[in-house]
């Protein structure tokens, strides 16, 4: 019986260690995926065990055309196992921004992610300097597609307003 409990205890510790190896990060999401100037993006980091994390700080930098990191770290809001924050895009289209984050654990340790050891399963990681890695976001041209709402508004302005105006006169 003692041998079984010892084996069971070792297996549980191994699972916790494996969770520690992947830094307790379950998923990272960004919306919208098509980013244009003067829009808000939302970054969401879902974790496995929120009780192991004190907080997460998010850092944004412009990666190109010039590497500029002049923004202050952003403390992400926590809602159970989800940390999230919005960021307003001020950069022009054609430029690239990126973000990385530091996870602060309840045991007093922290880790900067992504890093040279773990890209978190993402393929949009860029290394602008020798010792920093960022999740890359391209700033695109705004689309100029007209939606049916614009078409309806235009038709309303052209036809309905003159008809109502004639009836009032």
Task: Enumerate the domain spans of the chain.
Answer: 24-168
Each of the 169 residues of the chain gets a pLDDT tens digit; together they read: 444 433 333 333 322 222 234 678 888 999 998 999 999 999 999 999 889 899 999 999 999 999 988 778 999 999 999 999 999 998 999 999 999 999 999 999 998 888 888 888 888 888 888 889 999 999 999 887 554 544 445 544 555 555 555 555 6
Q: Which two tokens stand for residue 84?
A: 């999230």
- Tell how far CA 41 is from the center of its chain: 7
d(CA 38, CA 97): 13
Which of 59, 28, 49 shows the shortest CA–CA distance to 133? 59
Angle of CA points 94, 124, 22, to nearest 5°: 150
Alpha-carbon radius of gyration of the chain? 24
Task: Reply yes or no: is the peptide bond before residue 96 cis, omega within 30 of 0.
Answer: no
Tell me if the pTM is above 0.75: no
Check whether domain 24-168 has CATH 3.30.300.30, yes or no: no
């Amino acid at each position: 019986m003692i041998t079984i409990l010892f084996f069971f205890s070792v297996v549980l510790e191994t699972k916790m260690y494996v969770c520690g190896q992947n830094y307790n990060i379950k998923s990272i999401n960004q919306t919208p995926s098509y980013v244009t100037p003067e829009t808000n993006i939302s970054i969401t980091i879902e974790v496995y065990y929120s009780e192991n994390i004190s907080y997460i700080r998010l850092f944004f930098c412009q990666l190109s055309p010039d590497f500029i990191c002049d923004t202050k770290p952003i403390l992400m809001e926590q809602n159970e196992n989800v940390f999230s924050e919005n960021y307003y895009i001020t950069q022009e289209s054609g430029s690239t921004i990126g973000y990385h984050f530091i996870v602060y654990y309840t045991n007093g340790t922290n880790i900067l992610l992504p890093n040279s050891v773990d890209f978190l399963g993402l393929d949009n990681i860029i290394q602008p300097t020798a010792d920093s890695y960022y999740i890359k976001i391209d700033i695109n041209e705004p689309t100029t597609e007209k939606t049916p709402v614009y078409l309806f508004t235009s038709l309303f302005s052209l036809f309905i307003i003159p008809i109502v105006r004639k009836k009032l006169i």
